[in-house]
Structure 1
Amino acid sequence: NHGYDDEKYDYIAVPGEEFGGRYEIHATIGTGSFSKVYRARDLRDGALVALKVVKSKAIFMAQAQAEVELLARLLQEDPEGVFNCTRLLDSFWHRGHQCLVFELLSCSLYEHLSEHEFEGLRLPVLRQMARQILKALAFLAHPDVDIIHADLKPENVLLRSRHGTSLQVIDFGSSCFGTRRMHTYIQSRFYRSPEIVLGIPYSRAIDMWSLGCMLVELHTGEPLFPA
């Protein structure tokens, strides 16, 4: 990609670099199989945002286009973000990379567990978090939304603040519409449902399986099904 990428197809971003004529890169805050996420500043209003830069490999770019379509549906059906799902603020291309802009949140539930030495959450706190995730899943199951998340795990649920319990479900990169299942090898292994393991048809019930595994882990500090 004209020297802009490393050997893994990730864009080589430089602190202070401007993306989309609007966002100034500050630092890397996350790295995944398909993308990197940066803390950036919106030059229009000074707000800090999370800027996701997808790898330039064709298969990842196609998946990113599908994610943008899913996120557009979420934004259309929940413009104020009351159902605890991440909101796409902007999307654009930068030197051959699909870029997505989101609200900057705090730590993931996995990071929260790690910071507390995996002692597990107290039940009252866990109930508050579970209600919010269930609200998100109920929203995704609505006929007008009809999305299977397909990668629900502690790393993909972020707190708005390190000192609160308000949260958002993020990362719809493996998701699909219920009527348009795109992938067969999905879900992270600790949270992978029997349907996916056996390679049989699946539904949004796989998200409930993942949630059950998550809740046990968040309470005990250990994965329910380590593999």
Structure 2
Amino acid sequence: MVTTQEDDGSSEHSAVYSIHTEDEEDEHEYQPGGYHPVSFGDQFHQDRYKVVRKLGWGHFSTVWLAHDKEKNMYVALKIVKSAPRFTQSALEEIKLLEKVKETNKEAVGWNHIAQLLDHFWHQGPNGKHVCMTFEVLGESLLSLMKRFNHRGIPSAMVKRITRQLLLGLDYLHRECGIIHTDIKPENVLLWIPNVQSYLGHPSQPSDNQQQVQQSASSASLLNQTSPGSTKSRKRRVKRRIKKQQARATVSLHEECPLPLEPSLVLPSSVLDILLVHPEALDRVVVKLADLGNACWTSGDYGHVIQTRQYRSPEVIVGARWSERADMWSLACMIFELLTGEFLFDPRGGSKFSKDDDHLAQIIELMQVVPRSLTTLGEYSREFFGKNGQLRNIKKLRYRRLRDVLHDSFLLPPSEADLLSHFLSPMLQVEMEKRRAAKAMLDHQWLCGH
């Protein structure tokens, strides 16, 4: 049967060098082969980078705000788990990131990919860790969607974001020969103008920074609790962390009247501008992040990629896929940004799997079942009979994308038609017919307001 990536929206290599973090990693992962224990004030790479506080974490790494003494600027320091499989993956990611950095710095799309600044090794108690530094970016599009209560982001903003992502993907695909493989809101981050000024000078921290630093130091206590620590002690440490984070959030809220989440401790000047001056929508800048699952276009691939809701049909059936899989994910994400809802949100049943339902939803919307889907995938025969019909789901309710936009989301007919005309070439079920990023840049929908 099909082996799928996690369906909860997470990937092994989370985009974690933004200012947003949720919850805490599992303290039991602080062991040989796992995370490196970090405390506020720790220094790395011959004392060049000094840790200021925690930014986030993923199943692959932890990420920390650090001050680069050499360049007198703040960076996001990503410290990868030390187990061989994580190390190897990180080294592959560095090759991809260096290709992105060096291929063509004059390309417009270069500005819409999160850039690697430095990389080095660090020996710790849990092993030898690959470390990378990145520019500090703002929160993800998922956080931005939450700010709009999952009711959709203003169309003008989505159009600007979409254009930038098309430029970024064109640069990745055509100039760098790279497939991202995990396009989703969590992996698109806001760029914050003058982010260094928000962070202040490291030798003169503000009251807010001191509270944040205290919170980071407390978090390090949790990170370093030994496997033999009592559960009650761990609960006490966690409560202390939450209280300190809450105090930092309240203080920041007084300076920045935004609906801050408990773990969000840096305001985004981009969002400040948007809330006070809606006419500044054309100033939003985003960058595509997290190449932890990326690969080269020159390869021959059939393994499972993409987070469930953004997964392309060829991946579901186990067929060969290419950079056009990214275009499918992008179309799904654009729909979600505009409406606040998934375009495809499959559910399993007693007689069919999530993959069955996913394929059914795709066929219902696009109303085509190409031979490439029914016969060329490793798992095609599990989903389709000889007549090209789904084996496990017999009754389909066909609906055009244009009708979904008009009837369910109340777009005026002309807007529904234009948006459907824009998204449909990226949602071609037959991968070879799917439009490339560069070909979408001149579409009329992107030019409207």
TM-score (norm 2): 0.47
Contact 1:106 1:159 in 2 (8 A): yes
Identity of aligned residues (%): 37
CA displacement 1:131-166 (0-9 Å, x = unmatched): 000001111121x41100001111111011332510
Paired position in structure 1 for 2:180: 149
Q: How many residues align?
A: 222
Contact 2:182 2:293 in 1 (8 A): yes
Q: Matched residues in 2 for 1:61 and 1:79: separation?
A: 28
Match among 31, 42, 47 for residue 68 of structure 2:
42
Task: Identify which range, 196-205 or 6-15, moves more after superposition.
Answer: 6-15
Greater helix proportion? 2
Paired position in structure 1 for 2:191: 160
Structure 1 ranges of 4+ moved more than 4 A: none
Determine helix, strand or coil for the equivalent of 1:110: helix
CA drift at 1:117? 1.7
1:91 aligns with 2:124: no
Q: Matched residues in 1 for 2:72 and 2:291: separation?
A: 26
Q: Matched residues in 2 for 1:182 and 1:30: separation?
A: 31
Q: Matched residues in 2 for 1:80 and 1:94: separation?
A: 33
Q: Matched residues in 2 for 1:157 and 1:114: separation?
A: 14
Contact 1:148 1:177 in 2 (8 A): yes
CA drift at 1:28? 2.1
Match among 81, 94, 102 for residue 76 of structure 1:
102
Paired position in structure 2 for 1:174: 293
Seen in structure 2, the aligned counterparts of structure 1 residues 46 and 181 have a Cα distance that, compared at 3 Å, is farther
Unaligned runs of 5+ in 2: 1-28, 193-267, 271-282, 347-449
CA displacement 1:163-216 (0-9 Å, x = unmatched): 251011010000011113577232111211112221111000110011011101
Paired position in structure 1 for 2:158: 126
Paired position in structure 1 for 2:306: 187
Paired position in structure 2 for 1:102: 134
Seen in structure 2, the aligned counterparts of structure 1 residues 94 and 154 have a Cα distance that, compared at 3 Å, is same
Q: Report the aligned-residue RMSD.
A: 1.8
Paired position in structure 1 for 2:243: none
Seen in structure 2, the aligned counterparts of structure 1 residues 182 and 53 have a Cα distance that, compared at 3 Å, is farther
Q: Matched residues in 1 for 2:96 and 2:117: separation?
A: 13
Q: Matched residues in 2 for 1:108 and 1:206: separation?
A: 21
Paired position in structure 2 for 1:13: 38
Q: Matched residues in 2 for 1:199 and 1:130: separation?
A: 28
Determine helix, strand or coil for the equivalent of 1:63: helix
Seen in structure 2, the aligned counterparts of structure 1 residues 183 and 54 have a Cα distance that, compared at 3 Å, is farther
Determine helix, strand or coil for the equivalent of 2:176: coil
Unaligned runs of 5+ in 1: none
Determine helix, strand or coil for the equivalent of 1:125: helix
CA displacement 1:19-51 (0-9 Å, x = unmatched): 112111122222222112211111123211111
Q: Matched residues in 2 for 1:209 and 1:189: separation?
A: 12
Contact 1:176 1:182 in 2 (8 A): no
Paired position in structure 1 for 2:337: 218
Seen in structure 2, the aligned counterparts of structure 1 residues 202 and 183 have a Cα distance that, compared at 3 Å, is closer
Determine helix, strand or coil for the equivalent of 1:140: helix
CA drift at 1:80? 6.1
Paired position in structure 2 for 1:33: 59
Q: Matched residues in 2 for 1:50 and 1:182: separation?
A: 32
Seen in structure 2, the aligned counterparts of structure 1 residues 80 and 175 have a Cα distance that, compared at 3 Å, is same
Determine helix, strand or coil for the equivalent of 1:158: strand
Q: What amino acid is aligned across from residue 20 of structure 1 in structure 2?
A: H
Q: Matched residues in 2 for 1:126 and 1:111: separation?
A: 14
1:199 aligns with 2:199: no
Paired position in structure 1 for 2:169: 137
**Structure with bigger gyration radius:** 2
Q: Matched residues in 2 for 1:103 and 1:78: separation?
A: 18
Contact 2:150 2:340 in 1 (8 A): yes
Q: What amino acid is aligned across from residue 6 of structure 1 in structure 2?
A: Y
Q: What amino acid is aligned across from residue 284 of structure 2 in structure 1?
A: T
Contact 1:123 1:219 in 2 (8 A): yes
Q: Matched residues in 1 for 2:87 and 2:168: separation?
A: 26
Task: Identify which range, 131-140 or 177-186, moves more after superposition.
Answer: 177-186
